[in-house]
Structure 1
Amino acid sequence: MFDLGRSFLATVERRPHTIAITDGDFRRTYAEWLDDIQSVARGLESLGLGRSDHLVVVMQNRWQMATLHWACQFAGVIVTPINWRSTAREVRYCLENADACGVAFDGAGADAVLACREAYAIPRIAVGECGDDDKVAFDSLLGGHGELLCRAAPEDISLMLYTSGTSGKPKGVPRTHRAERAAAVAHVAQNLYRHDERTLGVMPLYHTMGVRSLLSMALIDGRFVCVPKFDPEATLEAIEREQVTNLYLVPTLYHLLIKHPTFSAERVASVDKLGFAGAAMSVGLMAQVEDAFKPSLFVNHYGCSEIYTFTIDQQASRKPGSSGRASLNQRIRIVRVGAESPDDIVPPGEEGEIIADLAGDEAFYGYWRRPDADRKALRDGWYFTSDMGYFDAEGDLFVTGRVDDLIITGGENVSPAEIENALSLHPQVDEVVVAGLPDEQWGQVIAAFVKPRGNVSEETLDQYCIDAGLARFKRPRRYLFVDDIPKSAVGKVLRRVLLTDRADSLAAK
């Protein structure tokens, strides 16, 4: 099997003069970009980074970051990207945990990196006018000539992502060239990509969705259109300028795009295929997105950093809420919550924990130096996701939330997703998140955090739930109207923030 470096070489040999990457006015063909990538790869070696060493990258989605990603694939270095919004403490943890042999950063991550004593013991590669006097300027790594580097083997580690760390320290997820290439090939197949596709490179390259967009384009001679930081107008400009053909975004970014004042069908007319992942898309938003883009393909992708793809539904609006069926490289099961064995399977229609087969081509082998996390998540060859879901009578998967998000009220188990989907269809509801609030009598009461579009009352929303057919015990007992819904840097709803930072203060009013 090819490693990723050889995969890139194959594309260069096949279509050397095709545009590979753009970033505003910056453009490179595959042949030109290979020269840059190889020069940077040799530069990494000259700085002492070798096969299986970690390079931590704290950078926005600029062409320099994409170039470093590919340079690491050729040099056998493990690219270890982290959120450019990270604090100095978070950067320090990752530098130490990964035993980093180098760190690369731009202006967005400079303050945090340079506040870490650990960064001064290793080479520091800076993009632009940031950093200390001893930094290595990224531009100084360009323009060199020498032997063609292709150091990695398929079983070498290509990439290490860090999970979000919502409970405890972030966990390193090392992924081999073999797993990364398999995930990219499956992404191409499952999204029906063709030669010359053009994708928007706005999902962060420290996130599995961003990495998949980068790799998949290189496999099919496609174009990766960098957007360093999501901004609706800048994103629309990039789509229009580069005639982007497909989008792969979290639901939040679709929401922000179609609600932007300058959005129009004409500006996104080149977009033919849509995909989303990272979070569930409400039924209401799904209908709005489909109406706005009118795509030929609308893919709901369910997966994670550890195992890229669990399930795929190529007709997302066919059965709203469904995540489809197992992907090309995966098998999934639903087991009883708290099960110790992957054989403790629940029948169709019954909720349980979703688990995935670790023998799948896209799967990781275990967390980086976290045997405790391995013991919790990896059992008898299966990955226990901590996601809740069920199979319907036709065999389609419905993901209903996290095990920790399950609301237990009056002894009944309630998943937030069903209530969120019902309320999302109300014309005066912009966004909604449902969670459980502590209650002495009921254990938990169901609360709906609503970002309204206009004036709407609790009574109106409660009647709407009744009309939608929600069982009485599933209807929210509290409606908390908020100005915004807190989300992570990649658009995931932060329920814990709502519960810890907002619920108490709102309940006291």
Structure 2
Amino acid sequence: MHISQIVFRAAQQRGTAEAIEYQGNVRNWTQTEQRMCAMAGALAQQGLGINDKVAILSLNSDVYLESLFAIPHMGGVMVPLNTRWALPEFQYPLSDSDSKGLLFDSNFIAVVEQLRSEDTAIEHYFYMGAAEDCPAWAQCLESLMQEAEPLLDSVLADRELAGIFYTGGTTGYPKGVMQSHVALFTSGLSLAAASNADENRTVLHCAPMFHMADLATVFMYSILGSKHVIVPAFEPLAVIDAIAELGVSDTLMVPAMLQMMLDHPEFDAGKLQGLKALLYGASPMPEGLLRKILTTLPNLEITQAYGQTEMAPLITILSAEDHRAAIRGDEKSARLLRSAGKSGYSVQIKTVDEQGKTLPLGSVGEICTRGPNAMSGYWNKPEQTAAALKDNWVHTGDAGYIDEEGYLFIVDRVKDMIVTGGENVFSSEVESALSTHPAVAQVAVVGIPHDDWGEAVHAIVVARPGVACTEADIIAHAREKIAHYKCPKSVSFRDEPLPHSGAGKVLKRELRAPYWEGRERQVN
């Protein structure tokens, strides 16, 4: 089960069918297969080989999608980088993964040029654009592909590492989630099996391709032999126009994207009538937004996927049928909107207590999951791997319960994590950045409810005596250290020290409580 088999099969069965459309360029599945083999051959010709790590720093593009197959095809390990990171945040994953190659596009020339002076293992810089725009210190990937001997055969078995995907870390550093070929393949298969999609669908990629959620749809729709339409990044009008003009039937978005699209002053519901299926995830869908979508597009199939990078990412699915039953049915059915759905094909779920004992149905505990799509562990982090992966069960850090029908309900988080606009933010990363401000004596970061983003990052600061400091100062300092989406949206100051447990741990639940008062669950 090597993921390049997905492209070989699609080319064999649907060779002349359109596979990828990006900025007016259209390629069929045979051409996509040829380019995958050419890119793999070009990377191998430069000396990259089995288990070598190749990072990707680019907005969405046709070449990005091809690289997701080509790097593993030549035996390498892909390392997609979050395009929203601040410059200082790139060095750690590049060094930690020991990446030998870096693919980048025109949007990140200046960033990569600065990274060249940092202490990393990168030996090859591959430019994902036209030869005339390629920096002198890089190699043009397209030129190398034209000259290389295509690599026709995959070189690794299915249990080998296919990718390392960096996610927030509880120690202030991101963790590299190791995923095998079989894990990525299985997650794509499970999504395909849970949908009504087929080879005649056209999927729009407007969520970032570095994110595991969109990556899963790359594999899902490629398994089906469907067509991929790609836009560089999410922009409401560009997405609306792509759906209207390019025959898009399916897409994945996080609720915050949907809210921005529907609230845009130039929103035109008529342009979305061809949309058949919407997959959303990363955060729950507000009921008001869901009803607005179904009123605007009454025939749209809406499906929720709950997952984590550690599960590549699929854990549960709340089906389109469940959504319609919840909207149209009685109170018993309406409760489904508060659910994350049922476990996906090949996935098993349970809840456990603090001692790791399996709890009965209806009992709240930490959600654990296992299946062939589970991670192999965290790269270079044996202790964190041992804590998260026990007896092949991934401990999610989310708290919830499973009802008698198998529906999972998430009620809180065990991990110190905030989910804002579909992005995971670990409080410790933000606290680490804010602690370097000269006015900050103590700081705690928590998630608070937000209508548009689900949750917002909020900092609670105890200032040093006699040092002047404002909310704007704290936020500006954070923006110099970490990605903007991780930065506090608001800051509150307190005179008394932060509350601590007997073991010396900051009592985050006590700090969060006033913001979540009166709510049924402590996540949004």
Shorter-chain TM band: 0.7 to 0.9
List alignment gaps of at least 5 residues for structure 1. 408-415, 440-485
Instruction: Indicate the residue corresponding to 2:366 in structure 1.
Output: 353
Distance 1:430 1:10 in 2: 41
Residue in structure 2 matched with residue 311 of structure 1 by the alignment: 316
**SS of 1:356 mapped into structure 2:** strand
Distance 2:234 2:483 in 1: 10
* 1:248 and 1:275 in contact (8 A); partners too: yes
Rounded to whole Å, the distance in 1 between the matches of 2:396 and 2:144 is: 41
2:393 aligned to which of 382, 385, 394: 382
Task: Give the C-alpha shift of residue 125 in structure 1.
Answer: 0.4
Do the aligned partners of 2:339 and 2:407 also contact (CA within 8 Å) in 1? yes
Offset of 1:401 from its aligned partner? 3.3
Distance 2:111 2:458 in 1: 35
The one of the two structures with greater contact order (alpha-carbon pairs below 8 A, sep at least 6) is: 2
Question: Cα gap change, 1:147/1:73 in structure 2, threshold over 3 Å: closer, same or farther?
Answer: closer
Distance 1:120-1:309 versus aligned 2 partners, 3 A rule: closer
Contact map agreement 2:459 2:488 (CA 8 A) in 1: no
Deviation readout 1:408-455 (Å, 9 max, x if unpaired): xxxxxxxx99x96xxx9xxxx66664899989xxxxxxxxxxxxxxxx
Which whole-Å CA distance do the structure 2 matches of 1:435 and 1:69 have between them?
A: 32
How big is the shift at 1:310? 1.4
Distance verdict in 2 for CA 1:42–1:348, change over 3 Å? same
Structure 2 equivalent of residue 474 of structure 1:
none
Alignment of 1:138 with 2:141, yes or no, is yes
Secondary structure of 1:288's match? helix
1:43-99 Cα distance to aligned partner (Å, 9 max, x none)? 000111101111011111011111221211321111111012333322211121111
Residue 355 of structure 2 corresponds to which residue in structure 1? Answer: 340
CA contact (8 A) 2:84 2:483 kept: no
| Contact 1:258–1:292 under 8 Å retained in 2 | no
For each residue in 1:161-214, what CA deviation from the matched residue of structure 2 results, as whole angstroms up to 9, or x when unmatched?
A: 111346521111111111111111111111222112111112212111111121
Q: Contact (CA 8 Å) 1:42, 1:149: kept in 2 or not?
A: no
Measure how far apart 1:143 and its partner are: 2.6
Correspondence list, 1:226-241, <5 A: 226-241=230-245
Say how many residue pairs are matched.
432
- For residues 24 and 60 of structure 1, the distance between their equivalents in structure 2, rounded to whole angstroms, comes to 13
- What is the distance in 1 between the residues matched to 2:180 and 2:389? 18
Task: Provide the C-alpha distance between the structure 2 equivalents of 1:369 and 1:185, rounded to a whole number of angstroms.
Answer: 29
TM-score by length of 1: 0.78
Residue 347 of structure 2 corresponds to 330
The 8 Å contact of residues 41 and 75 in structure 1, kept in 2 or not, is answered as yes
Q: Is contact 2:351–2:364 with CA below 8 Å preserved after alignment? A: yes
Aligned-partner SS, 1:44: helix
Deviation at 1:15, TM superposition (A): 0.7
User: Runs of 5+ in structure 2 lacking a partner?
Assistant: 327-335, 419-445, 462-478, 495-510, 512-524
Bigger mean CA offset, 281-290 vs 39-48: 281-290
Q: For 1:227-376, what aligned pairs fall within 5 Å after superposition?
A: 227-307=231-311, 308-314=313-319, 315-316=322-323, 318=326, 319-336=336-353, 339-341=354-356, 343-345=357-359, 347-357=360-370, 360-376=371-387
Contact in 2 for aligned 1:86/1:112 (Cα 8 Å): no
| Equivalent residue runs for 1:14-413 within 5 Å | 14-116=13-115, 117=117, 118=119, 121-128=122-129, 132-144=135-147, 145-146=149-150, 148-165=152-169, 168-307=172-311, 308-314=313-319, 315-316=322-323, 318=326, 319-336=336-353, 339-341=354-356, 343-345=357-359, 347-357=360-370, 360-404=371-415
CA contact (8 A) 2:388 2:394 kept: yes
Distance 2:91 2:99 in 1: 10
Contact kept, 8 Å, 2:346 with 2:372, in 1: the verdict is yes
Q: Distance in 2 between matches of 1:436 and 1:92?
A: 26
Q: Which residue of structure 1 aligns with residue 518 of structure 2?
A: none
The 3 A distance-change label for structure 1 pair 437 and 141 is closer
Partner of 1:83, secondary structure, is: coil
The alpha-carbon distance between structure 1 residues 122 and 212, as it changes in their structure 2 partners (threshold 3 A), is same
What's the secondary structure of 1:252's corresponding residue?
Answer: helix
Q: Which moved more, 1:204-213 or 1:284-293?
A: 284-293
Aligned in 2, Cα 1:16/1:432: closer, same or farther, shift over 3 Å?
closer
What is the alpha-carbon root mean square deviation over aligned residues?
Answer: 3.1
Q: Is the 8 A contact 2:99 2:122 kept in 1?
A: no
* Distance in 1 between residues matched to 2:452 and 2:189, nearest whole Å: 36
Q: Compute the TM-score of the two structures, normalised by the length of structure 2.
A: 0.76
Contact 2:40 2:150 in 1 (8 A): no
Counterparts in 2 of 1:404 and 1:378: CA distance versus 1, 3 Å? closer
